[in-house]
Chain A
Amino acid sequence: MSRVRKDPRAERVARTLSETGRRPRLDLGRREAGPASGRPRRDPWREWAASLAGESDTGNGRKRYDRSQRQMNRVEAAHFARTRDGLDAVDVSPGQPALRVIDEPAFLVFAVVAAAGGRLSRFDRQVLGGARLLADAGEGGGAVVAIAAESIEGLGEAGADRLVVMPRASTQRERAEVLKAAVDALSPRHVLFAEEGDSADCARRLSVALGEPLFPDVEHLTARQAVRAIRNAGAEIGLAPPRLMTLGEDRARPYEDVPCEAREIEGGGEIASPDPAILSVEIIPGDPAKLALSETDFVVSAGNGVSDFGAFRDLAAAMKGTPGASRVVCDAGLMPRQAQVGASGTVLAADCYLALGISGAPQHLQGIAGCEHVIAVNTDLHAAMIERAGLAIVQDAQLVMPALLNLLKEREA
């Protein structure tokens, strides 16, 4: 990038007041020409004024500023939110989010969410975020249609304008058929899937059924192009976002603005005929106690601060987590070596990690770098694990473990 060179002489000429016969006089306060670089000047005063969130009414008149850069979105929200029957969240006030309503979208973008267990996963939010990006970038503004097997909490916050509830299909072939009916009925501009499990399978079935190419495992998604790796990550191709895409994990930012309405609409097809080749389908739930550390989603882990390992094993089982341990504990033979978490143990792919009496040595923290939620129980306020944790409890693990077990027993009853 090159900036325009400043020409002091030209600037001086532009500012010279034409009063002939006298000494040339300069008007240094004049600004209408704009800076030579062509970039607009920042106005810090206006920015502060825009981020004023409120004034405390306790008499001293202290101002509260919100500098989280969401102010522009509130303005946008006011632009988008219009009065609709049964909906009066038009008033955009700080602290109370408005609803973003898109009445007549120019086009639709489908986001197929798996929502295992009736909750949006992080990956589902990323798929919805990617769809939101494509919908907002298109001319006229599009709407994101979430395709799910049931109505899920938090779809609006994740960026879905509409929701199409699909009938529950027992086989993937039926699921793809129903989805194809929805695509035929609503003709979306893009259909976005997660490159994972059933979604990835469904994307390929849909691609074959529609006879359209699929652009899988997108690594980089913007409004103008979608990029993916090919040839064993030796090359990549970038295209204008095609119609059918699957998104790689952790590649698109989840949507974090004003909630959308997630209004349910018709569009799901009917299940026509069962698949004659599938004779039986049975779901076997996973047993967290027997899962490998690399596969599980929730690890309950003990460190040198835990002394009662009987209670710890009971706790891991009661919390439906996979037991893990720090190296010190494995070296002492208190837990099996397979349970070691960290650089020389297992690097976790879990969503959540509960650390009981673990100091958080760098070698241990490497193993939990991919965990989104960390809970630490430690007696030392200054332990590295307490700093890493999303919920930090400074308390004796030997007291917290029985309390947790009691509380879980109470809940079961």
Chain B
Amino acid sequence: MKTIVLLSEAKNPVSGRQQPSRLEAQAIGLAAGLDEAPQGLHAGSSEEGVAAGLGHGLGGLDVVETPAGDDPLPALSAFLRRAFAGDAPPALILCGRRGEGGLETGLVPYLLAEMLGLPILADAVAIRPGEAPETLVVDQAMAKGARRRITVRLPAIVTVHPLAPPPLPFAFGRMRRGEVRRHPAPAADAPAAGTLAGERPHRARPKLMRTAGTASGGANLHVGPEPEEAARLILAYLEDNGIRRYGPA
């Protein structure tokens, strides 16, 4: 099953150096279970960070050389259109939930799905070929450890959830052996906007604190209750706060 993994231009938030995104490395690991030589696809100005994907299990890497800061979507869709029209069309396109290093909207896979007319599934933690040919079984992560198992007709786009298995270990030799193919970017209609209007250095903002609503002590401190009373209090607390519901379903 021919698989393409979309790679973004992730940077280390501290050093600013390019590095592979963890989620995309996990996607490569999932792809390697279906295709012994999954191919990477990256649209951007440099391949320094994404080349590490070869060391994590990619069989080859296509780089569409678009100017830095350009919208990668036209380049990606033109490349994929050509791939689908070619003689070995891909069956599956994998990507992270959100590309890193750019605008990080997470819209690229959805826009690609719309442009190429493919179904899209989000948050995969496991994938395997379906029983019927040209189908794929995708396990989606849901809250509280639940999974949604969906059988989808290929070709399809699937995004990967952080709970997917960890990436394959990095191998330097594989990275050196991997083939990188460079392609010129299609002519852009709009010149690249280097920075966005209103862009400024990031300021970390505190998140809301998570603490119990009740101040401790007071009404919720019970000293030496009967064990039965204590058990009743615990279950009532769990049910009032919507953690669990006990009893016949």
A positions within 8 Å CB-CB of B: 114, 116-117, 119-122, 126, 171-173, 196-198, 200-201, 204-205, 207-208, 213-217, 219-220, 227, 229-239, 249-253, 275-288, 291, 295-298, 319-321, 351-352, 354, 369-375, 377, 381, 386-396, 399-400, 402-404, 406-408, 411-412
Q: Is the CB of A236 within 8 A of B231?
A: no
Does B141 reach chain A (CB closer than 8 Å)? yes
Sample 21 A-B pairs with CB under 8 A, ordered by A number: A116-B142, A126-B208, A219-B205, A233-B13, A236-B199, A237-B200, A238-B200, A279-B135, A280-B149, A286-B145, A288-B144, A320-B244, A321-B244, A372-B210, A372-B212, A375-B238, A391-B220, A391-B233, A392-B220, A394-B223, A403-B230
Say whether B71 faces chain A, with CB atoms less than 8 Å apart: no
- Report which of A213, A250, A407 forms a contact with B231, defined as CB distance below 8 A: A407
A197-B123, A390-B216 given; A295·B230 CB < 8 A: no
- CA–CA, A365 and B192, complex, Å: 49
**What are the interface flags for B122-151 relative to A under an 8 Å C-beta threshold, 1 for contact and 0 otherwise?**
110000001010010001011111111111
Q: Which of B106, B199, B216 contacts A387 (CB 8 A)?
A: B216
200-241 of chain B: CB within 8 A of chain A: 200-205, 207-208, 210-214, 216-217, 220-225, 227-228, 230-235, 237-238, 241
Give the distance in Å from the alpha carbon of A229 to the alpha carbon of B98 in the complex.
13
Find the B residue at minimum CB distance from A319.
Answer: B244
Which 5 residue pairs spanning A and B have beta carbons closest together?
Answer: A286-B145, A390-B212, A277-B119, A403-B227, A250-B207
By a CB distance below 8 angstroms, the chain B residues around A354 are 234
Interface of A is mostly: mixed
B110 proximal to A (CB < 8 A): yes
Q: Does residue B191 face the partner (Cβ distance < 8 Å to A)?
A: no
B124 → chain A closest CB, angstroms: 12
* B220 close to A390 (CB less than 8 A): yes
Is there an interface contact between A236 and B119, defined as CB atoms closer than 8 Å? Answer: no
In the assembly, what is the distance between CA of A11 and CA of B246, in Å? 71
Chain B residues closer than 8 Å to A252, beta-carbon distance: 208
**Inter-chain contacts of B216 with A (CB < 8 A):** 386-390, 392
Chain B residue nearest to A281 (CB atoms) is B150
Do B145 and A231 have beta carbons less than 8 Å apart?
A: no
- A400 and B212 form a contact (CB under 8 A): no
Which of A231, A233, A295, A371 gathers the greatest number of chain B CB atoms within 10 Å?
A231
B16 to chain A: closest residue by CB:
A234
**In the complex, are the beta carbons of B234 and A391 less than 8 A apart?**
yes
Q: Which of B111, B122, B198, B231 lies at the interface centre, i.e. has the most chain A CB atoms within 10 A of its CB? A: B231
Give the shortest distance, in Å, between A71 (CB) and chain B (any CB): 20
Q: Say how far A227's CB is from chain B's closest CB, in angstroms.
A: 8
Interface contact B144-A201, CB-CB below 8 Å: no
Q: Is the CB of B110 within 8 A of A205?
A: yes
- Nearest-CB distance from A201 to chain B (Å)? 4
Residues of B within 8 Å of A393, CB to CB, are 222, 225, 230, 233-234
B103 in contact with A230 (CB, 8 Å): yes
Residues of B within 8 A of A (CB): 10-13, 16, 97-98, 100-107, 110-111, 113-114, 118-123, 130, 132, 135, 139, 141-153, 156, 163, 195-196, 198-205, 207-208, 210-214, 216-217, 220-225, 227-228, 230-235, 237-238, 241-244, 246-248
Q: Are A297 and B143 in contact (CB under 8 A)?
A: yes
A232 and B221 in contact, given A208-B111, A250-B208 (Cβ under 8 angstroms): no
A275, A390, A404: the one contacting B213 at CB < 8 Å is: A390
Q: How far is the CB of B50 from chain A (nearest CB, A)?
A: 14
Give the residue of A276, A388, A407 whose beta carbon is less than 8 angstroms from that of B235.
A407
Is A232 in contact with B11, judged by CB distance below 8 angstroms?
yes
- Whole-angstrom CA separation of A116 from B104 in the bound complex: 27
Contact A236 B203 (CB under 8 A): yes
> Contacts A235-B199, A236-B199, A291-B145 given: A395-B104 contact, CB under 8 Å?
no
**A95 vs B153: C-alpha distance when bound (angstroms):** 58
Which chain B positions have C-beta within 8 A of A114? Answer: 143
Report the minimal beta-carbon distance from B102 to chain A, rounded to whole angstroms. 7
Name A220's closest neighbour in chain B (CB-CB): B205
B223 and A208: CB pair below 8 A? no
B210 touches A370 (CB 8 A): yes
Tell whether A278 pairs with B207 under 8 Å between CB atoms, given A216-B106, A400-B230: no
Min CB distance B112 to A, Å, is 10
| Given A285-B146, A351-B243, A404-B234, A237-B196 contact (CB < 8 Å) | yes
**Which residues on the B side are within 8 Å of A217 (C-beta)?**
98, 104
Are A237 and B234 closer than 8 Å at their CB atoms?
no
User: Cβ of B121: which chain A residues have Cβ within 8 Å of it?
Assistant: 172
